[in-house]
Chain A
Amino acid sequence: MTAHVLEADRLCKRYGTVAALDDVSLRVGGGRFVTLLGPSGSGKTTLLMAIAGFVQPDSGSLTLDGAPIGHLAPEKRNFGMVFQGYALFPHLTVAENVAFPLQIRRVGKAETTERVKAALDLVQLGHLAFRMPKQLSGGQQQRVALARALVFRPNLLLLDEPLSALDKTLRLSMQDELRDLHGRVGLSFVFVTHDQGEALAMSDDVAIMRGGRLVQIGSPAELYERPANRFVAGFLGRSNFWQGRVAAQDAAGFTYMAGGHRLHQAGKPPGPAVLVSLRPEKLMVLEGAGGPANQVSGTIATASYGGDSWLVQLDVDGLGRMQAMLPTWRRTPPHMGEAIRIGWDADASVIIDDSEGDTA
């Protein structure tokens, strides 16, 4: 199966004075798993609903394989959709729920039976075909919703926070299952979530939204390692930020002054002033001589235990409060008031754009 290509071009949608979608362009195709990630009110659900046809954009265009679909009613778009609360029909059995889209399409009885069985087998629910939705667990209902959204061979599968109603353990196993299913059906998925971990774990591409704008799109690793701006860096995981002024430049990188420290950074400076971002897990605790290019001293303010690591807040002269992840296997527990030396490599920190991403 060749996956269809959906293109959203410069979509705008306003509700009163609020821009729910502000000039959003997105391309989904090639059987990729694309996640729309953002805080509530960021426009991610509006974008999904615009793709599905339940929200009519004020301007912009939507095409599927080059053909415009913006004028089509939801039922004409042939997109599978999984809703937040699953939206299973409570008056129909599991099998009848899955058969619904086929009956609407006037598929013959024998073929319907066969395809419903295949769809239920795909999500390992063949044995529950004659139960009512109410009799199923949350995870099972979720899988019925998936089978129902896939049984009519849609052009695209849209998922609106489908895992948010599940408890954490189940959510993790459904993440794996959904990834696995995505690999088997060869469809492009558009997945909406506000959970950063979920987005990083599941997606081929993550589109980060904020205030109706698409802030950055890329693979999870790209977004995490090279966030475009302060919002992305702060939204995806934790980050330390500080400002600096460029002092000197050479072939390998440049040096800049920040809080009285002379620090080194790989790459080229974008201008005389830079905003630096550093992930807490890239900070090392230094013992003895030698070590990375950048070294500062600080005092531990708080330390919280997280199983695999300690999250330590420390006060660093000139740079202020910084957070560091210290592996728990490495040393005796950090304690308040302890003075430590920390450091990082010149290519561990990144220079980012000092904006929140919601202004052009």
Chain B
Amino acid sequence: MNSGAYRWFPIPALLLLVLAYLVPLSQVLMISVTDPELGLGNYALLVTSPSIARVLATTARICVITATAALVLGYVVAYCMTQARPAVRRLMLVGVLLPLWVSVLARSFAWVTLLRREGVVNSVLMGAGLIQSPLPLMWNEFGVSVGMIHTMLPYAILPMASHMRGLDPALMAAARGMGASRAQAFRRVFLPLSLPGVIGAGVLVLIFSLGFYVTPVLLGGGRVRMVAEYISLQIQELLQWGTGTMLATALIAAIGLLLFLLSRAVGLRALSGAR
């Protein structure tokens, strides 16, 4: 592959990447240290501005909640998929993939109709006499988390399921043949062997969650601000280009750091699913 004309084949993709991605990105970086004046003044806001601190804390909290919930729920689904008969597994796979074919916007609106004050959930609960007044299910962190967990589930399930399918079923049988109960075999063999898949899925979900925009905007209703919405607010409404680009740069740096730490912990090969 490293000889002949083949070596030139990636050039168009590389050009596109440089022009459409790296050039604008470097401009973002430039603006963040030059607007309104040259220096690291914008970055100082990370530690001095209470509103930015609040946004970052909210973002971190929701991301951790989302990732944890998506991993726990997704692990169960992925495990069932691995154990299921092939026909059932295919059906489950379609079920997992289906939401990915529906736009995030449509799905978030669907959650709005479910969770709002006069929404499906509240009407059913009140109709059944279980609650007297509507529960606050959205325009708060709960609503945002529910929407995000729902969106993130496929990204949690698919890498974990693919990693689990790579595990040799004979290992579990071997453990049981040596006297381990189903639970012991799971805890001592399957669980530790499936961890790289869990970590890989976790990183993916965390990274996607950090930059989430549509779901927090719709389900947070302006009361729960995550960093992506805040950046958009700074740039589009307040025309604070310096602050916005600084936060964007910080977000990219945070993701880079996260990837670096995790690659140190489990190895990039395990993260990318390579064996």
Contacts and interface: CB of A to CB of B under 8 A. Distances in A.
Interface of A: 52, 54, 73-75, 78-81, 83-85, 87, 89-91, 100-101, 104-105, 148-149, 152, 158
B184 A87 contact: no
A184 B171 CA distance: 27
Interface string B171-197: 101111111110010001100110000
B179 A78 contact: yes
A90 to B, nearest CB: 7
B168 interface: yes
Contact of A152 (B179, B189, B192): B179
Contact of B173 (A79, A87, A104): A87
B179 A90 contact: no
A104 B178 contact: yes
Interface in B124-176: 168, 170-171, 173-176
Nearest to A100: B178
Given A89-B174, A100-B180, 17 more contacts: A74-B173, A75-B178, A75-B181, A79-B177, A83-B173, A83-B174, A85-B170, A87-B168, A87-B170, A87-B174, A89-B171, A89-B189, A91-B193, A104-B180, A148-B178, A149-B178, A152-B178
B188 A81 contact: no
A89 B177 CA distance: 13
Nearest to B185: A75
25 contacts: A73-B181, A74-B176, A75-B176, A75-B179, A75-B180, A79-B177, A80-B177, A81-B174, A81-B177, A81-B178, A83-B173, A85-B170, A87-B168, A87-B170, A89-B171, A89-B175, A89-B193, A90-B193, A91-B192, A100-B180, A101-B180, A104-B180, A104-B184, A104-B188, A105-B179
Interface residues of B, number: 17
B84 to A, nearest CB: 18
> What 10 A-B pairs have minimum CB-CB distances, sorted nearest first?
A101-B178, A87-B174, A81-B177, A87-B170, A104-B179, A74-B176, A83-B170, A75-B176, A75-B179, A104-B180
A306 to B, nearest CB: 37
B179 A84 contact: no
A289 B192 CA distance: 77
A149 B180 CA distance: 13
B86 to A, nearest CB: 15
Given A90-B193, A91-B193, A85 B168 contact: yes
Contacts of B168: 85, 87
B85 to A, nearest CB: 13
Contacts of A52: 177
B176 A73 contact: yes
Interface centre among A79, A104, A149, A158 (most CB of B within 10 A): A104
A84 B170 contact: yes
Contacts of A73: 176, 181
B272 to A, nearest CB: 18
B183 to A, nearest CB: 11
A74 B170 CA distance: 13
A52 B179 CA distance: 11
Contacts of B171: 87, 89
A23 to B, nearest CB: 26
Contacts of B188: 100, 104
Contacts of A54: 173, 176-177
A159 to B, nearest CB: 12
Nearest to B171: A87
A59 to B, nearest CB: 23
A279 B40 CA distance: 92
Contact of B175 (A78, A80, A100, A158): A100
B177 A74 contact: yes
Nearest to B184: A104
A154 to B, nearest CB: 9
A330 B184 CA distance: 64
Nearest to A79: B177
A298 B241 CA distance: 100
A41 B184 CA distance: 32
A78 B180 CA distance: 10
Find the residue from B177, B181, B188 having the highest chain A CB count within 10 A. Answer: B177
Contacts of B177: 52, 54, 74-75, 79-81, 158
Contacts of B180: 75, 100-101, 104
Contacts of A75: 176-181
- Of A85, A89, A158, chain B has the most CB atoms within 10 Å of the CB of A89
Contacts of B184: 104
A164 B185 CA distance: 26
Nearest to B195: A91
Nearest to B180: A104
A54 B192 CA distance: 23
A100 B193 CA distance: 15
A57 to B, nearest CB: 17
Contacts of B193: 89-91
